[in-house]
Structure 1
């Protein structure tokens, strides 16, 4: 199984990079991880809805260019399905059983994701109604992927 995480925007904070690197290292025994950072568009203050849509569309083009037809795509979106960690673990296991060897997660930029990306996704998932910076969400996602594998192993990591 391969897991790819596509994110919009550069990660600059060292403490977040260090945390992500630690979980990616731990995940190496379960899966091959690929992290793809895409450029974000600069959003002017008080941008019009049309300007926001143009920005989201440009980011969507970049995102979709990194996705192949046979990947199972999970987009993180506030309106998505909320899952307990055990259910998230089961989702990853079930996806493999269904014949997908590649799972791709997408984290949008500050404006979220364009509808075309959400339509391409096989599933929309929400990590709750709280608004988190997309940089922090990367760390949360990688930790939850690690937790999912530990749950599947019956590890005491998930208590």
Structure 2
């Protein structure tokens, strides 16, 4: 199975990027042994359109174009479902066992996701009701992916 992170905005050099790259590297290394062949990150510039509606529509088109053809799409949104780390690992396990080719995690821009993106997603996932900066969401998602992989691998990183 392949994982894709499709995100509005680009991480600039700095601590968030360093941390994101560290979790990505860790997840890629341990993930191969669990059946996760690739974890890819696609970033694109946030829309500079004049209105929220236009920005959402433009970013929604870019996200849709970047999605793998046959994938399980997960939109990250504060209105989504919160999962415990073990439940997130179980979600990945079900898709691994079920033969899902691609799981794509979608991170919108500062205005969130266009309704069409949320509607197309198979799951809307929340990291809680608080609003998080997009650069931290990327780090949090990568850490949770790494944590889920350690759970699947029986690695002692996650302590319940």
Q: Same fold (TM over 0.5)?
A: yes
TM-score, length-scaled by structure 2? 0.91
Q: Following the alignment from structure 1 to structure 2, what is the Cα–Cα distance between the partners of residues 132 and 43?
A: 22
Answer whether contact 2:10 2:45 (CA < 8 A) is retained.
yes
Aligned residues, how many?
Answer: 153
Counterparts of 1:3-152 in structure 2, within 5 Å, are 3-29=3-29, 30=31, 31=36, 32-42=38-48, 51-152=51-152
Deviation at 1:10, TM superposition (A): 1.5
Contact 2:78 2:125 in 1 (8 A): yes
State the distance in 2 between where 1:8 and 1:108 align.
5
| Aligned Cα root-mean-square deviation (Å) | 1.3
Q: Pick which of 144-153 and 28-37 moved more.
A: 28-37
CA shift, 1:121, in A, is 0.7
Question: What displacement does 1:43 show?
Answer: 6.2
Deviations 1:69-109 (A, max 9, x none): 31111110111111000000000111122221211000101
> Would the alpha carbon gap of residues 13 and 132 (structure 1) be closer, same or farther in structure 2, given more than 3 Å must change?
farther
Q: Distance in 2 between matches of 1:23 and 1:17?
A: 10
Distance 1:101 1:16 in 2: 29
Unaligned runs of 5+ in 1: 45-50
Q: Normalising by structure 1, report the TM-score.
A: 0.91
Q: Which consecutive aligned stretches of 4+ in structure 1 deviate over 2 angstroms post-superposition? A: none
